Structure formats: C-alpha cells, structure tokens
Amino acid sequence: MNKTTLPFDLVVLDLDGTILDLYHARTITPRVRQAIAAVQAAGIPVTIGTGRTLDYICDQLGYLQLTHPVITMQGAVIGDPVTNKILAETDISLELAQQVADWVDASTYVTSFYFHDERGRVRIYQNRPAETPSDQAFHDHVFGGSRLMQPSFRELLAEPTAKPPLKFLLDNDLNRTANVLPELQARFGADLYITRTHPRLVEGTAQGIDKGQGLLHLCDLLGLTPERVLVIGDNDNDIPMLRLAGYSVAMGNATAGAKAVAKWIAPTVEEDGAAVALERLVLGKK
C-alpha cells in the first residue's frame, strides 16, 4: 500500500466491548490481532483509547506490539506503551476528590480510586470487597490488578502526603441497583466529567478530560489531524472521540448514543467486529 494512498494516518481502538470481552478476562481474538498486525504492516499506526491504565496496556497487551502513545484512564493519562513513560496526565483536584470520597464513603457501591505512585506506576484503592465470587472476578477484570483495600477514602485523601487521584470508578450494576449516574452528574457534573463507561461501570475524571480531549492531545503530540484518524468504540465514553475522528465506527453491541454519532456500524465484539472494520475500511477487503 503506497504511503500517499493510505486511508488513515492513525487508528484508535477502544478496549472493553470493542476488542476485549466486557465481562470476562479473555485475550483478544486471533482475527482481531491479525487485523491489527496487518494494519500496522501496511504502515498505519494502531493505538488504544481506553479507560484502563497505562500499566495494563504495558503489562497485558505487549503482544499487540503498539509503538505509538496510548490514551488511557479516559484521557487523563497519555503514555508510551513500550517504556511505560507518562507523557501527559491530569488529575482530579484534591478538594474535589475529597468531596467524592465523602459521597463514596456514605454509599454502598464498590468503588476504586486510581493514583500514580512516585515511579509512575498505577496504585488502585478499593473501598470494600466484592459480595460474590463472580463479582470478584468481574472486578479483577475491569478494575485492574492488585488493589489495596481502603474502607475510608476520606481518610486516605486527608493524609498529609495524599496525592489527588486521576479517576474514580464504581460498580453500578443496573440489574441490582438504580442508575447512579444522574445523581453523580447532578452533584459533581459541574466540576467533573462523569460518564457511564460500561453497562456496569460509572467513572469520573477532571472536568474536560475525556477520550475526545485525549485524542486531540495525542494528535498534537504526533503532528496529526483528527480528520485523518479512524476510531472504533462501543460505549458512551467513546462518543467524544467518535465525534472528533475523521471516520468513526461503532460496534454492533454499542450503545444507542455511540451508534448515533458513528459513520458505520460494525458487527459485535463477539463477531470480531473490530477486525471486520479494519479489514474493510483500512485493508480494502470485501
């Protein structure tokens, strides 16, 4: 494929619900991995735009051989997937985080706060254990690896050496509890970006920090324009970057909001929809 005829300068893939299973810790399927490798071999960089951590990408997704900076923690962190170096990060102010901590401490939702330690590695604190083994497995999958139990986030954030968090994430299973998103947005939405990132998850970052802002920052770092970027996603938190991309694809399992802003709808994640999109839109396969 001639460099001057490449359809895109960059491909950005969401993870959960796009190339990863939403509920279970499974590896990316061979077809999706092969499609990603073929796109890279054609001279088009592939990267990630996710709510997951930079550590997760570096530790768990090395087999994708990503070389360009990745958008992580909903846009709060941009980092190098090869060296684990943080290139940009935006945290929640300590004062706002303390207000969220007060709310979390008074609630019953399993919640995690995410920080970077002095080495730039992620440190995750969780307020209470899962109620069931299946919930535990789900939290291990979506919250991240090793988590430290911290019954009181207010106490954690009141320590003299307390650092502000990069994001918070809570389990809001709509099959068992009411939708907490409207309450959180009403209480904190003027100061924080709060969105549903998964059928069971609600996350919060600093105001203005989302995947769209992350995409703009990434394009600035790489000297690219969003008009030459292909984005594939599935959830409401992907909407900001789907809107900014020159070409946007929503998965067949995507939310109504994500589908509404996408230019093309791929098959579902179970049907390797991301691979289908890459094969058709980038590699020119029928």
CATH assignment at residue 193? 3.30.1240.10
- pTM, rounded to two decimals: 0.95
Q: Check residue 198 and report its DSSP letter.
A: E
Instruction: Tell me how far apart the alpha carbons of residues 234 and 238 are, in angstroms, rounded to a whole number.
Output: 7
* Last-in-domain residue among 206, 229, 251: 206
Same domain, yes or no, for 129 and 148?
yes
202 and 213 in a common domain = no
- Is residue 162 within 8 Å of 156, Cβ to Cβ? yes
In what helix (H) or strand (E) does residue 86 lie, and over which residues does it extend?
Answer: strand 86-89
Question: Could you say which of 181, 206, 231 is where a domain stops?
Answer: 206
Mean pLDDT of 50-67: 95
State the DSSP code for 20. Answer: B
Length of the chain: 286
Task: Name which of 21, 156, 161, 174 is nearest 98 in CA terms.
Answer: 156
Residues 124 and 136 in one domain: yes
Tell the burial category of 62 from Cβ atoms under 10 Å away from its Cβ (0-12, 13-18, 19+): exposed
- CA-based nearest residue to 25, from 105, 130, 156, 136: 136
Q: Please indicate whether residue 26 or residue 261 has the higher confidence score (pLDDT).
A: 261
Q: Angle at Cα 238 formed by Cα 52 and Cα 7, nearest 5°?
A: 105
DSSP string, 118-165: TTS-EEEEESS--SSHHHHHHHHHHT-S-EEE-S-HHHHHHSTT----
Q: What percentage of the chain reaches a pLDDT higher than 90?
A: 92
pLDDT average, residue stretch 195-216: 96
DSSP secondary structure code for residue 202 in this structure: E
Residue 239 has pLDDT above 80, yes or no: yes
Read off the CATH number of the domain in which 264 is found: 3.40.50.1000
Place of tokens 């993870």: 15
Q: Which helix (H) or strand (E) holds 185?
A: helix 181-188
| Phi, psi for 179 (deg, rounded to 5) | -70, 115
Read off the tokens for 186.
Answer: 């009403």
Q: Is the pLDDT of residue 145 over 60?
A: yes
Please give the pLDDT value at position 279. 97
Mean pLDDT of the chain: 95
How far is 85 from 89, CA to CA, in rounded Å?
11
Q: How far is CA 120 from the centre of its chain?
A: 18
Left (φ > 0), alpha (ψ -120 to 50) or beta: where does 252 sit?
Answer: alpha
List phi, psi (to 5°) of 254: -70, 165
Residue 215 · residue 241 · CB < 8 Å = yes
Smallest Cα–Cα separation from 281: which of 257, 246, 256, 254?
246
Specify whether 49 is located in the same domain as 124.
Answer: no
Flag whether pLDDT at 267 surpasses 80. Answer: yes
Total structural domains within the chain: 2
Specify whether 100 is located in the same domain as 197.
yes
The predicted structure's pLDDT at residue 41: 96
Region 251-255 average pLDDT: 97
- Domain extent, residue 129, equals 94-206
Q: Are residues 254 and 118 in the same domain?
A: no
Question: Does residue 213 sit in the same domain as residue 82?
Answer: yes
Average pLDDT over residues 1-20: 85
Same domain, 213 and 81: yes
User: Do 110 and 195 sit in the same domain of this protein?
Assistant: yes
Q: What is the pLDDT of residue 152?
A: 96
| For residue 178, pLDDT beyond 60 | yes
Token pair belonging to 3 = 């460099």
Q: Are 205 and 73 in contact (CB under 8 A)?
A: yes
CA distance 106 to 218: 37
User: Looking at the structure, do residues 46 and 144 belong to the same domain, yes or no?
Assistant: no
Same domain, 33 and 46: yes
Q: What 3-state class would DSSP assign to 147?
A: strand
Residue type (1 letter), 61? L
* Token output for 222: 């790489």
DSSP state of 252: T
What is the reported pLDDT for 4? 52
Instruction: Please say if the pLDDT value at position 2 is more than 60.
Output: no
Domain boundary among 206, 231, 255: 206
Are residues 44 and 99 part of one domain?
Answer: no
CA distance 33 to 278: 11
